[in-house]
């Protein structure tokens, strides 16, 4: 195995598309900080009202309970950012819509956020090229 196998470009994925960035380890650390009392619930349950509205109306409900309040199931919301999209991104409500954006051939990135509509917990789960 050569050192080129561990180059930055190789680790990021295809140079023209980028790679997937997964934030589950950061999520786990944050939840642990809440559970041991280093972070208060009000410090992390501060999702923007628009994110909560999107989660309630177009988000995909999961089977996972919120790790903070343990009362409601988490919802996933996907935002796409890139050239010729609004500065605040575009909230994608279906896989079909994501496929349509992918077909444009533009350099777009999707951001998947989990949110709890009850306590307003939110966390960025992953970023990937569309």
Dihedral angle over CA of 102, 123, 48, 112, nearest 10:
10
* pLDDT, position 102: 85
Tell me the pTM.
0.81
CA gap 60, 118 in Å, rounded: 15
> What average pLDDT does the segment 12-20 reach?
61
pLDDT (0 to 100) of residue 103: 86
């Amino acid at each position: 195995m050569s050192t080129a196998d561990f180059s930055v470009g190789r680790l990021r994925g295809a140079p023209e598309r980028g790679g997937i960035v997964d934030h589950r380890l950061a999520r786990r650390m944050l939840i642990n900080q809440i559970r041991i009392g280093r972070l208060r619930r009000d410090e992390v349950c501060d999702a923007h009202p628009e994110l909560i509205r999107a989660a309630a109306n177009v988000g995909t409900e999961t089977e996972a309970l919120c790790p903070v309040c343990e009362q409601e199931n988490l919802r996933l919301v996907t935002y796409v950012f890139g050239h010729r999209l609004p500065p605040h991104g575009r909230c994608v409500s279906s896989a079909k819509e994501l496929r349509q954006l992918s077909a444009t051939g533009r350099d777009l990135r999707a951001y998947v956020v989990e949110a709890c509509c009850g306590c307003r917990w939110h966390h960025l789960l992953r970023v990937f090229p569309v």
